[in-house]
Amino acid sequence: MKIKTRKKAKKEDTFFDETEWWEEHWQGMPDYTSESQMPQTTLYIHFKNKEDRERFAELVGQKIGPRTKSIWYPEKEIIGFKDHAWVDGDRKIKRRRRRDK
């Protein structure tokens, strides 16, 4: 795997002679490419009445209420981060608890 390195600024281009604090820790990090999360096709569907909407919801096997703005078909799993925490080796990093006001 070829690792891209950041081109360092020429001395006359920098305000200070120091490098960024993170540069020494960033060596050898893998590249990351995020795949597009956008849909390939978007289709707008209009329902004449509540019964038509409910019948369509039954056909696609999803809940579609009067306030539903969009759905994925097939239904897409939504991953939330509230139940995840960062882990450093064998040590789990605690999540901050939100204070109730």
Which residues are 92's β-sheet partners?
87
pLDDT of 33 reads: 81
Q: Is 13 left (phi over 0), alpha (psi -120 to 50) or beta?
A: alpha
36 vs 7 pLDDT, higher one: 36
Predicted TM-score (pTM) above 0.75: no
CA torsion sign, 6 to 12 to 13 to 19? Answer: positive
Joined together, the tokens standing for residue 68 give 């539903």
Domain boundaries, the chain: 39-78
Under 8 Å between Cβ of 62 and 75: yes
Which DSSP symbol is given to 25?
A: T
* Helix or strand (DSSP H, E) at 88: strand 87-88
Phi, psi of 96 (to 5 degrees): -75, 140
pLDDT per residue as tens digits for the range 47-61: 999 999 999 999 999
